[in-house]
Structure 1
Amino acid sequence: MKFIGYRTLKTGIGASIAMIIAKQLGLQYAVSAGIITILSIQNTKKQSAKIAIQRIASFLIALLIASILFKIIGYYAVTFGIFLLIFIPVLVRFKLEQGIVVSSVLTTHLLVEKSTSMFWVWNELLLMLIGVSVALVLNLYMPSIEGQIKKDQAYIEEKMKEILVQMAKALKENYNSIGEQELFNNLKDRLYTARNNAYQNLNNYFLLDASYYVQYMEMRIQQFDTIKRMKEHFKKFFMTYEQTIMIADFTEQVAHSLYEENTCEQLIKDINELRENFRRMSLPVTREEFENRAMLFQFLNDMEQFLRIKNEFKQNPS
């Protein structure tokens, strides 16, 4: 078990560096630079850059509002209260909420010093710039999580294969529940964890398009939703026919064709051929046969949807 996480390590180092730089430049309230760095360290590069821009913009707004109020009313606690009543709604209006706390703290320095002279304005601006800059520099390197994403891919494909094999077996052996709720739950949890990892990976690149893994995980989640619908059909299957065995064999074929690069075009053609074969077969004789075959056709329709989701993904690469 890791005692200190990577982000914690960067936060500790960054806060120290920011305070040292501020102190060496002779800035007052140098500790604030360290606090700003702590608040600006994020999980991804894009988050860090976005917050840096928001905080700098919010400070400039705070400086404008505070300067006007302090000159008109004076350097009193009530003035700071009025400042917050104006400042907070303005930042919310412009979606700069990330800068509320930091800019308010820096504004208190002006209140304490009872001055908005260039010396103190420059002092506070430098504290902000040092704090966010150190955070940005430390966030330029993020440990790659592509290895974990590839493991997620392998796990997802293997578990989907396992589910489809179980379905094929259930069709052949004529039982109406594949009894794999835990497997479905585990797959669902891993899918959403993997999607979060994919988005985190995406947000660690500024210029490179890293959206492939996001699209891949979204595709697999859509397929998972389709598999859940297919699973519901098992509650209504109660008889085994020639068509059932054919669909079971095809389901097993799909299970062994889930690898990432498969476009599923041939499998979609196979489904159409399967339907043509069904049309040439004799019609159901009893009501039970009719209902059961209807469920088989719905299962096959969902299987086609499952394959088309993958086909569309491969036809529209990132």
Structure 2
Amino acid sequence: MPILQRTIKLVLATSIGIFLASLWGLSNPTSAGIIAILSILDTRRSSFKIAKQRLLSTLLALLIGAIVFFLLDFSIISLGVYLLIYVPLAYTFKLESGIAPSTVLVTHLLIAEKITLSLLLNEFSLFLIGAGVALIFNLYMPSRQKQINDYHIKVEDLLKKIFLKFDSFLKTGDGRNDAELINQLDSLLKEALAVVYLDRRNQLFNQTNYQVHYFEMRKAQLKILREMAKRINHFQYKSAESYLLSQLFVEVSAQLSEKNSAKGLLSDIEAFLESFRKRDLPKTRYEFETRAILFQLLYDVERIIQLKVDFYHDYHTD
């Protein structure tokens, strides 16, 4: 969440929480603001999850606090006993996110030196106001769809550049490849996946795995591209076959977009394989090594395209 947006949310949630608690005549109204501050989170899903945990944690804390203070009187020692009982239970039931705000409410009982129904309701109401106001503000999360769409464009552009660079290597017989573009793509995919997973956690109802699977598919393709880059590093001998394969790389680079099924490329790859099989056997060691690398590259491209075809099949019915 951007700092400016978080700051605005914190200021408004805190102010409104304190205002509402004061308006309803609750004691210690600032505690509602503190709880609101602690409840402003980065995603909608985490907000609801934490709110539920803190609700249960508050009920548990007030119950334990009331019993301990009733039996042992109101003292710092009693507060210590309360913590000795409450904290382990909170962790046991995975309610530790509510330890701090709940304990703030329990200290109000210590300060008041009395246990009454109205006081317990006061503390519970402070929690409901603070957490409720924060939940309302957490319902607004800016859409990251434009940012995700930009990542689509950048990823596909880098993929195209990588294949065109492979094309250049095969045409010249120069396999000196520093994998710079592949490393750029790796960094870009990590950024994209971080944004996609964050955006997914903000979807309460209409969750989709599409974007996650899309970038994971590209990540799987990247792994194969790294293998191809290593093979091309050993490529030092251009041939008629390498020129043909370079043409396939150009064709692949033009069909990498999200909405392209790429099914036709599988047929083209099979035709290339058949053509390679019918050619004369290599006559020199260099020709043999080159042919072996080209076959490996061709199978690598087939794996890359198959990933794309499978992804397209999973999300398109046409």
Q: Same fold (TM over 0.5)?
A: yes
Q: Which residue of 1 aligns with 2:182?
A: 184
Report the Cα distance in structure 1 between the residues aligned to 2:237 and 2:10, rounded to whole angstroms.
Answer: 63
C-alpha separation between the residues in 2 aligned to 1:281 and 1:195?
44
Matches of 1:92 and 1:306, distance apart in 2: 46
Aligned counterpart, 1:239: 237
Equivalent position of 2:193 in the other structure: 195
1:196 to partner: Cα distance? 1.6
Per mean C-alpha deviation after superposition, the further-off stretch among 269-278 and 284-293 is 284-293
Partner of 1:164: 163
Alignment gaps of 5+ in structure 2: none
Identity of aligned residues (%): 37
TM value normalised by structure 1? 0.93
Structure 1 moving runs of 4+ over 4 Å: none
Unaligned 5+ residue runs, structure 1? none
Question: Contact (CA 8 Å) 1:201, 1:210: kept in 2 or not?
Answer: no
C-alpha separation in 2, matches of 1:144 and 1:252: 35
Q: Which moved more, 1:247-256 or 1:197-206?
A: 197-206
Change (3 A) 1:258 1:84: same
Aligned length in residues:
315
Q: Give the Å deviation of 1:4.
A: 5.8
Shift of the alpha carbon at 1:39? 1.2
In 2: Cα distance, 1:230 partner to 1:116 partner:
72
- Residues 97, 295 of structure 1: alpha-carbon distance in 2 compared, 3 angstrom cutoff: farther
1:48 matched to which residue of 2?
47
Structure 1 segment 60-139 matched on structure 2, within 5 A: 60-139=59-138
Moved more, 278-287 or 142-151: 278-287
Given the alignment, which residue of 266, 269, 272 partners 1:271? 269
Q: Is the 8 A contact 1:45 1:203 kept in 2?
A: yes
Deviations 1:164-219 (A, max 9, x none): 111111111111123451x3333222211111221222122211133322221221
Amino acid corresponding to residue 307 of structure 1 in structure 2: I
Partner of 1:112: helix, strand, or coil? helix
Contact 1:177 1:235 survives alignment (8 Å): yes
In 2, distance between residues paired with 1:305 and 1:78?
Answer: 67
Question: Any idea what SS the aligned residue of 1:99 has?
Answer: helix
Q: Larger deviation: 225-234 or 208-217?
A: 208-217
Deviation of 1:119 after TM superposition, in Å, equals 1.5
CA shift for structure 1 position 284 = 2.1
Q: What TM-score results when the alignment is normalised by the length of structure 2?
A: 0.93
**C-alpha contact (below 8 Å) 2:182/2:225 kept by paired residues:** no
Residues 125 and 185 of structure 1: CA distance in aligned 2, closer, same or farther (over 3 Å): same
Give 1:150 shift: 0.6
| CA apart distance, 1:286 | 2.9
Q: Does the 8 Å CA contact 2:18/2:30 hold for their aligned counterparts?
A: yes
Letter in 2 for 1:124: E
Alpha-carbon distance, 1:95 to partner: 2.2
Structure 2: how far apart are the matches of 1:287 and 1:206? 61
- Rounded to whole Å, the distance in 1 between the matches of 2:283 and 2:117 is 93
For residue 304 of structure 2, the aligned residue among 303, 306, 310 is 306
C-alpha contact 2:54 2:98 (8 A) present in aligned 1: yes
Letter in 2 for 1:131: G
- Once residues 219 and 284 of structure 2 are traced to their aligned partners in structure 1, the CA distance between those partners, rounded to angstroms, is 38
